Structure 1
Amino acid sequence: MSSRLLAISLSALLATSLALFSPPGHATDAARSLLDLHQLRLAAQKTLGDFYMYNGMEGDQRYARMIGQSLNEANARLEALSDMPGEGSKALRAQLTQQWSDYQGDLERLVGTLKKQGYTDLQPVADLAAENRQLMALCLELYNKIQQESGQQVAALTQQSREQSLLMQEIAVDYALRSASVGATFMGGGEVRPIEEMVTQFAEQLAAMEQTAQNSTQIKQTLSGISTKWRYIERSLMNYNENSVPFLVNKYSDSIIEGLERVSAEYAASQS
């Protein structure tokens, strides 16, 4: 199943659970907005990883298509964020729209440059990475503001699984960056956590998720599959300077995130 179709099916699952178990009105609207915003964060983060892969794999057109797919997903999620619960979230939503438009324009120009001349200058790529970090920070601010103004808090297990998805995406982006032709030169300043630290955190949190008492049989099976895939790439992630395998990490990280999003939807359904 493609990531786009998976996102649609997960949204349908959560929407069904909200309709069945949530009271009508703002709580349901807020839960849907928070899901859309989470998916927007994943897609926006992925566009940067897709770009690094496109650069590192010498213009492989599959990654150009993946950039387009991630942009389309992010745009669809942003468009779905229509009804904000308060003035603060409305202002942040407007700011996010502008920042996203600027970022998308810069990304598309860089993709065009790569297609035309086969390389890009370093500074625009560093600037794009900085823009992406700013987008992630703004998305998180809006995520928290929606919860504050609506009084609708994301349940702990659902939030835990969402954060794990975002961490996996962050790791994948970082690995793709390090595997790109100019490596860490693309970092563009700012605080970037060591990949070893992120890998250790992911492994510890995944182990904790597997021990969660509330896990259903289906969730246990999904987490077991995620764990198997994680172990397959964990050594490569920790030893990123040796035998770089960006295609493998990219493929498995996408699959791991899909599994985590299924777990997140199942937690949301059970906790509604």
Structure 2
Amino acid sequence: MFSLSEGDQRYQQQYQQHFQAASEYLDELTEFDTMLAGELRPLWQDLKGKLKYEVIPGAGYTMSTRTRVEFRDYLTLLYTKVHQQVSSESQLHNELYLMAIDVEMMTARFFDISSSEYGVMGLSASQRAIDPLRMANAFNRQLRKLEKMGIPRNLKRQLERVETKWRFIEDSVVNYKDEAAFLTVFFNKKQIGKILTESTDLIAAT
């Protein structure tokens, strides 16, 4: 968002907040999976100092191609490992957690491609493990599955809100269409993440 908004300071502040949150989540992960946290931590520590946007003539606010590649590799590893860990336990709160992760990863790829000089051509074979089309199809199947389950009414309403917001941005995210819609994608993906987190809390309270 900082890049696509051509350096809007509001998003620079959020960018820094996300840095802090990422480090905190990694600390929390250590309590649950020491090996995975140990694998990710040195990669993240190395990346933190490189994830800076610079003004490049003719390209605006962007980051170096090398750093972008390293960050894509990091996200691919993170996505793959988390899915392997969480999907092994088929529980409703885990399914909602994975749905939230998938939305974050799909929209992250949308913003990545939208701000990249080379677009999808810059993706390596391994980085294509984050495949928005495949992930969107799985997300839609999961929504259908949850609709058929005997879930509490308040949770069902939450998921209906998720679906409404997802339908609004799905085509742009999956097909990298309408890059000018980045504000709409950003707002709705934040709302989807918030709703899914609230839904997980609802399950914990029942």
2:156 is equivalent to residue 220 of structure 1: yes
2-structure distance, mates of 1:261, 1:56: 27
User: How many Å apart are 1:58 and its aligned residue?
Assistant: 1.9
Alpha-carbon RMSD: 3.0
2:116 is equivalent to residue 173 of structure 1: no
TM-score by length of 2: 0.80
Could you say what secondary structure the match of 1:56 adopts? coil
2-structure distance, mates of 1:91, 1:157: 25
2:167 to 231, 244, 258: 231
1:243/1:126 Cα in 2 relative to 1: closer, same or farther (>3 Å)?
closer
Aligned length: 202
Query: Which protein is bigger by CA-based radius of gyration?
Result: 1
2:103 is equivalent to residue 159 of structure 1: no
Mapping of residues 1-272 of structure 1, within 5 Å:
53-81=1-29, 83=31, 89-107=33-51, 110-111=52-53, 113-114=54-55, 118-139=61-82, 143=85, 156-182=91-117, 183-184=119-120, 186-187=122-123, 190-192=126-128, 193-213=130-150, 215-242=151-178, 244-270=180-206
2-structure distance, mates of 1:242, 1:95: 36
Which of the two has greater helix per residue?
A: 1
Give CA-to-partner distance per residue, 1:78-118, whole Å, 9 cap, x none: 3345645xxxx4344333332221222222xx23x359x84
TM-score by length of 1: 0.63
Structure 1 alignment gaps of length 5 or more: 1-52, 145-152
Give CA-to-partner distance per residue, 1:207-261, whole Å, 9 cap, x none: 2222221x11210121121122122222333443346411111110110111111
Residue 114 of structure 2 contacts residue 179 of structure 2 at CA under 8 Å; is this kept in 1? no
Residue 129 of structure 1 contacts residue 188 of structure 1 at CA under 8 Å; is this kept in 2? no
User: How many Å apart are 1:161 and its aligned residue?
Assistant: 0.6
Q: Work out which structure has the larger RCO, using CA pairs closer than 8 Å and 6 or more positions apart in sequence.
A: 1
1:55/1:118 Cα in 2 relative to 1: closer, same or farther (>3 Å)?
closer
1:247/1:188 Cα in 2 relative to 1: closer, same or farther (>3 Å)?
farther
